[in-house]
Amino acid sequence: MTTYSDQEVLSSGTLPAKRGGCHELEFSGEHVVTAKIPVLPLQLTYTLPSGARISAHAFARGDGKAVARCYLPESGEWKWEAKNSLGKGVASGLIHVRTSDLPGKLRVSLQDNRQFQYDNGTAFLHLGDVAEALLSPDQDNWAAYINQAAQAGFTKIRVRLGESEDSVSNFYGPNRKQLNLAFWDEVEKRLLFALGRFPKIQFQLNLFAQDREELEKFEEGDILSHLLVSYVCERFSPLANVHWSLASEIDPAKDSAVTLQALSKLGKTIYEQAPWHSLITCGQPRFANFLFNGEKWCGMTSLSSLGQVHGEVVTANAPLSSKPIVLDQDRSEYELAPLVPRYYFRRLFWGMILSGGHPSYHGLDTSGKGSGHKSGIVGYYDACHAARLHSGAHDLLHIRTFLSETCGDLNGWVSDDSIAGNKPLLAKAMRSSDSDSCIIYVANPDSHEGHSGKNGSGFYSDQNASASDIFTTFNLELPFDNGSAKWFNPRTGEWNGSVEISKASTIFLTPEPEDWVLWVQKS
């Protein structure tokens, strides 16, 4: 993964900037601030090269500086002007933004509303991980975690801002009288570290997690809660590697109407207040229906389920949502763990991707409340070497290799299990929009009979399955009757032979035992 310097992704003052990066302006003198007034009555208006005008406000840092920050989606000459609360101009200037290969912020694909892309138009392959307490100041291994997440191929990391799952008291100083700027400085330090080195990794910031009391304060108009939301929008939304989750475990059967109203209001506030259009979502408990598909602010459908090697959660939710469908939680290596993690997560990722969804891995308990061998913020490879993890994410990079050497991305592709006999536990299939190409993942599990798992009940064959140690044959009903097929090994990332096809209904034999991927193209 390409790395960049901090200066390339975050420019300042009169220095040249780069499209897809972030630029900041510092103000001093009468604009030196404290935590009591963290969002200033200092309004910035940016005029983009396209003529668009965007307004933002300055925010306070722990060093007493007032800072205004903007994301840079366009190259060319930007103009900016700062005015005080009386509308009097206090400063103005230019930002010279050069073209660059920085990916920029995460967006819904302009070609396919089920897929993602970066702001520069390149496809975003969602390979998710969870590191809830990564931004907590008491976590010392954060840099090793980020570095090794990039090595393993992760492209999105879900993190929590609150000090625990049910408390965001760390957002504020003693007695909840002002913001805790030292904490927010530390959050920024870690996000900028990642942005400067791995700008393709996205961080989904979970704002209020399960702190329902704070959500209800926001709904009731609490001044400090609203100030907090304004502050994080101005400080973090301009960063290209940030998007938002409002809260987690939102359950209509348990949460009050006030909480649900607060979430709708919060989503609308961030959507309207943060001008850089960071994507927004909200976390649900396992097996719950997503509540916010109809909200204008909602950018993706975030779900939590179990045993989704067949991608059924995508099939079930596709009629309910026109947005990308993300599986944020399935099994982990510490809880509801699969017998063979490496095979399970390889099967989960291929199964979800070929269903048109976006999968996530989960290794250790990263909540910050766990103890022992299976918990903590630890670099992925460090955890594997210490036998705390068992290689569950070792094969993610091979998915990227396959796509880069075949179709490039999955925009316009259609999940179609009928190609492989509608047996998604055994094989998952997808075809291109013109039906000239197909991808088939042959899971070849050593057991699947009697699988009835759904919504946490029944028998889940996937948990104890491993890749079969025998060859397997399977029949394909292809959308064309002549072409070629190539075998891809999802365990090594290598190609292994090809064969010509002369009829649509074709029986295949895997090159070796275990699981395989087949790339089929019409002549």
pLDDT at 38: 59
Whether residue 408 lies inside any domain: the answer is: no
Tell me how many degrees the CA angle 21-23-26 measures, rounded to the nearest 5.
160
Q: 385 in helix, strand or coil?
A: helix
The verdict on 163 and 53 lying in the same domain is no
Q: Within this chain, do residues 329 and 390 fall inside the same structural domain, yes or no?
A: yes
Residue type, 447: S
Considering only CA atoms, which of 295, 345, 288, 283 is closest in space to residue 316? 288
Same domain, 325 and 455: no
Of 62, 80, 98, which marks where a domain is finished? 98
33, 67 in Cβ contact below 8 A?
no
338 and 193 inside one domain: yes
- Do the domain assignments include residue 1? no
- Alpha-carbon distance of 152 to 363, in angstroms, equals 12
Q: What is the pLDDT of residue 1?
A: 47
Q: How many domains does the chain have?
A: 3
The CA-atom distances, in angstroms, between 465 and each of 194, 345, 449, 462 are: 36, 12, 11, 5
In tens, the pLDDT along 376-399 reads: 999 999 999 999 999 999 999 999
SS3 call for 269: helix
Residues 192, 180: Cα–Cα separation, whole Å: 19
What was the pLDDT predicted at 506? 93
Render pLDDT for 21-72 as a digit per residue (tens, 0 to 9): 999 999 875 554 555 565 566 899 999 999 999 999 999 898 888 899 999 9
* Judgement on whether residues 302 and 153 belong to the same structural domain of the protein: yes
CATH code for the domain in which residue 88 is found: 2.60.40.10
* Same domain flag for 361 and 510: no
Domain identity same for 297 and 382:
yes
| CATH assignment at residue 472 | 2.60.40
In a domain, 400, yes or no: no
When computed from its CA atoms, the radius of gyration of the chain, rounded to whole angstroms, is 24
Is 402 inside any structural domain?
A: no
Predicted local confidence at residue 135, as pLDDT? 98
DSSP line for 317-338: HGGG-SS-EEEEES--SSSS--
Is 405 among the domain residues? no
Give pLDDT < 70 ranges for the chain.
1-7, 29-41
| Within a domain: 270 | yes
Determine the structural domain holding residue 288 and report its residue range: 106-395
At 149-158, the pLDDT tens digits run: 999 999 999 9
Asked whether residue 406 is domain-assigned, the answer is no
Answer yes or no: do 120 and 93 share one domain: no
Same domain, yes or no, for 174 and 261?
A: yes
Same-domain check for residues 135 and 225: yes
Residue 3: both structure tokens together: 């790395």
Of 172, 124, 400, 167, nearest to 279 (Cα)?
124
| Claim to verify: residue 250 and residue 320 sit in the same structural domain | yes
Residue-averaged pLDDT of the chain: 94
d(CA 361, CA 224): 35
Measuring CA to CA, how many Å separate 274 from each of 57, 81, 279, 389, 477? Answer: 10, 18, 10, 38, 49
Burial 76-90 (b: 16+ CB within 10 A, else e): eebebebbeeeeeee
Percent of the chain's residues with pLDDT above 70: 96
Q: pLDDT at position 125, please?
A: 98
Of 75, 98, 121, the position where a domain reaches its end is 98
d(CA 109, CA 122): 9
The string of DSSP letters for 339-362 reads SSHHHHHHHHHHHHHTTT-B-B--
Question: Are residue 262 and residue 350 in the same domain, yes or no?
Answer: yes
Say if CB 235 and CB 189 are below 8 A apart.
no
Element (H, E) at 9: helix 6-9
The enclosing domain of 305 has a CATH number of 3.20.20.80
Is the residue at 289 inside a domain? yes
- Last residue of some domain: 98, 132, 160? 98
